[in-house]
């Protein structure tokens, strides 16, 4: 069983990067500071990869590909990690490492399936990069709603004109 690091993104991050698009809770900033994320122990180009845990993750595998990982609990049978809303943050000042506010049953699922989650998340990121380099994000159902559109600089994608203004996350 792996040790998983849980974290929360500080509200300061969302204030400092108010130009973010296609992120979770874009219209409800009160949730920004309280949504549980798992912080992968890997870095991507020296950036932290954060995956949000959602109460409702309908069909983590869709006809066009995997978009998440099911992490059900007794009271939230459709909960799961949503790869579409991965956040990539370099500066640790924007990340709070608190005790997770999720049931032990979900923590156990995440710990037992951590290696698979890590592989799936990296596959999602790498597939997104391939699609973005071809300027096909908006034409690809799996990535159309991806928050990774905010992190092209961090992902080394330089040819796409659809990104929001540059950031140093």
pLDDT tens, residue by residue, 34-81: 777 787 766 777 888 999 998 888 777 777 888 999 999 999 999 999
pLDDT for position 167:
47
Q: What is the pLDDT of residue 72?
A: 94
Query: What is the chain's mean pLDDT, rounded?
Result: 86
Give the residue, 92 or 28, on which the prediction is more confident: 92
Helix ranges restricted to H, 32-164? 104-112, 114-133, 152-155
DSSP-derived letter for residue 127 is H
> Residues near 70 by Cβ (< 8 Å), separated by ≥ 6?
57, 60, 78, 79, 80
User: Per the confidence metrics, is the pTM higher than 0.95?
Assistant: no
- CA–CA gap between residue 87 and residue 90 (Å, rounded): 10
Could you report the per-residue pLDDT of 72-102, keeping only the tens digit for each?
999 999 999 999 999 999 899 999 888 888 9
In CATH terms, is domain 5-155 a member of 3.10.129.130?
yes
Domain residue spans in the chain? 5-155
Asked whether the beta carbons of 60 and 67 are under 8 A apart, the reply is yes
């Amino acid at each position: 069983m792996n040790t998983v690091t849980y974290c929360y993104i500080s509200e300061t991050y969302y204030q400092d990067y108010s130009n973010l698009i296609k992120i979770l809770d874009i219209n409800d900033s009160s949730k920004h500071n309280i949504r549980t994320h798992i912080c992968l122990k890997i870095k991507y180009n020296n950036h932290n990869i954060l995956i949000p845990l959602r109460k409702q993750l309908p069909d983590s595998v869709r006809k066009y590909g995997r978009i998440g990982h099911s992490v059900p609990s007794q009271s939230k049978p459709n909960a799961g990690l949503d790869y579409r809303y991965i956040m990539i943050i370099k500066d640790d000042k924007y990340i709070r490492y608190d005790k997770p506010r999720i049931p032990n049953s979900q923590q156990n699922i995440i710990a037992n399936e951590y290696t698979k989650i890590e592989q799936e998340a990296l596959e999602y990121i790498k597939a997104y990069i391939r699609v973005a380099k071809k300027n096909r994000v908006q034409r690809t159902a799996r990535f159309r709603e991806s928050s990774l559109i905010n992190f092209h600089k961090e992902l080394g994608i330089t040819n796409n004109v659809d990104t929001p203004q540059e950031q140093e996350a």
